[in-house]
Structure 1
């Protein structure tokens, strides 16, 4: 679709009642989205694809939003993002196959339409157990060539992206504009994803603020992009369960990692397994399902200063420690420049700092 037509279609998606199914029906009768936008009420009624009420809504919307296509194009230029439609070759093939695919996608970075993808989702209120799993699974699945898809939310989503970024591609699907960092602390992560071969994707235009109603719709894109969805940690009312249900409704695989029966954070995963989700204990379980070979493990080539080695010895991959906890655990006593040492180790890729400002090893030995 020509660039001009893309922005007319994006404008039409904002008209109340004009969902993807209605717009796809209209596109079958009109050559371009601009033709739909500029048609009069009589012509739209004759085509028989819109009810009289829908025709009236479109006419009112067009009057109130005159110039919207051009405004959307200008906002994309300012935000440094691109727009693709469901008719474009770059549009993800797997996403076209779901019941209600978005007709337009705004994105920063690179979309690979035929990539093999796995969604990784979980609770915003993670545990050290869940964070470690997300980092490990994200890194190992990405290293094997799968693109890790998640929602860039706090907690498990963020850890999944971070793990995948260490070894391969990841895609962040947002419930806001692609130029809006939500949560704010993930701004640098989103920039890194977009600039390193991955993509930041949304069906909402630049500048759109996050609203609660947008996130269930966002979840259908996460599962729709992916061959399967892995749930790492999910409480009883977790939005991750909605993503899993959407994957099941589209005939996609659902995987879950079991957790303690005494932990509320594991209730959702254990429940999914009861309902028939595939129990996984290792990334290899998922790779075998899709016939993907795990790459050979590389020996660590990191070099440590003497002070970094002291910090490294008290850290683990499984549990994060705050600065105070690191100090208490050091047999040699407190290092006067510990904050600087941790920063240098983070820049080297030796440690990861989470949203709670606690540190863990970046890789499992």
Structure 2
């Protein structure tokens, strides 16, 4: 608890944002030493100006921090520190990870995650696409990350919950602040079945400049980001930019060329974002990460295999027929079907996840 208090203390000092915190941490390697450091020692930290140094020196009192820690415990809010083993590994890899993450709900955030973001004023088509993709991905054990804003974000979270999957809501305010207010029940459900997280301390209200910073966490937690309906100056495009900077995949759902909320996504496609028309377009990219989860997911899907069988695609049906006829290795299936290797791999993964086929050393077989 003592170690955590020093992190909470420094993270809440005025004029110490994420970048300065990270500079301080890189220099001292131990936040407790910062508390006992003098002005001369603090002045050795790169990028730490006089205002920030004075702010640290004027706030050397842990009494308020200890009271704050009690408040966190009372409200059942957990914290993840950057140096904690449980801190999300993908997020730790970005340029400026939050030193402290506040969490309501589960503190275990799966590495196999995809974020879905888009317009707050989305069309019916956009909302249903967000819900559908989130449902299908979550059904396969993929965590859905979004920002719990109105529109696309809300339906992405709802789709994941309908699939009884995991979803993470990243807020641009404290985790004890409900925003938007109409999402109160949704937030409560996510707390029970997923995670509500933020880098902002308790009681911090949302501000416009908080949301772009929040977006780097959404993309940072994810292997890739799906953009569904975004205007030319949409905040969702900021998330896409962060994803590219972080070396993550950017996906876009094509939209009506006459609709303003589709201009941003259509421009992304022109600039090289991967077009998504079905969930397999995403699965083929994250296949190496997803494949390790198949054994864990198979028990969950077996009970629903009959229902899932009805939902197989035409490509999957053809592959199933080839397996049934004895063509059960990847090379055989590719040769007989004429599909690209990536398509066959994606379809086989989907069929395994649906509990329809099983893989042995010598190939695939119907269950």
TM category (shorter chain) comes to 0.7 to 0.9
Deviation at 1:260, TM superposition (A): 0.7
Task: Describe how 1:160-309 pairs up with structure 2 within 5 A.
Answer: 160-167=156-163, 168-196=165-193, 198-291=194-287, 292=290, 299=307
Q: Does 1:154 align with 2:150?
A: yes
Task: Give the Cα separation in 1 of the matches to 2:176 and 2:306.
Answer: 36
Is the CA contact (8 Å cut-off) linking 2:9 and 2:62 kept in structure 1?
no
| Structure 1 residue runs without a partner (length 5+) | 301-365
Task: Give the Cα separation in 1 of the matches to 2:44 and 2:254.
Answer: 56
| Structure 2 residue runs without a partner (length 5+) | 295-300, 309-367
Query: Out of 85, 104, 122, which is 1:126 matched to?
Result: 122
Deviation at 1:38, TM superposition (A): 3.4
Give the TM-score taking structure 1 as reference length: 0.75
Deviation at 1:14, TM superposition (A): 2.9
Match of 2:139 in 1: 143
Q: Does 1:110 align with 2:118?
A: no
Deviations 1:186-243 (A, max 9, x none): 11111111112x1100001111111111111100000000010000111122110110
Task: Give the Cα separation in 2 of the matches to 1:107 and 1:234.
Answer: 28
SS at match of 2:101: strand
Is the CA contact (8 Å cut-off) linking 1:177 and 1:202 kept in structure 2?
yes
Is the CA contact (8 Å cut-off) linking 2:15 and 2:51 kept in structure 1?
no
Task: Give the Cα separation in 2 of the matches to 1:48 and 1:209.
Answer: 31
SS at match of 1:290: helix
Choose 140-149 or 3-12, whichever is displaced more.
3-12
Q: Does 1:6 align with 2:14?
A: no
The number of residues matched between the two structures is: 295
SS at match of 1:299: helix
Is the CA contact (8 Å cut-off) linking 1:120 and 1:148 kept in structure 2?
yes
Is the CA contact (8 Å cut-off) linking 1:224 and 1:247 kept in structure 2?
yes
Match of 1:22 in 2: 20
Task: Give the Cα separation in 2 of the matches to 1:68 and 1:212.
Answer: 28
Deviation at 1:283, TM superposition (A): 1.2
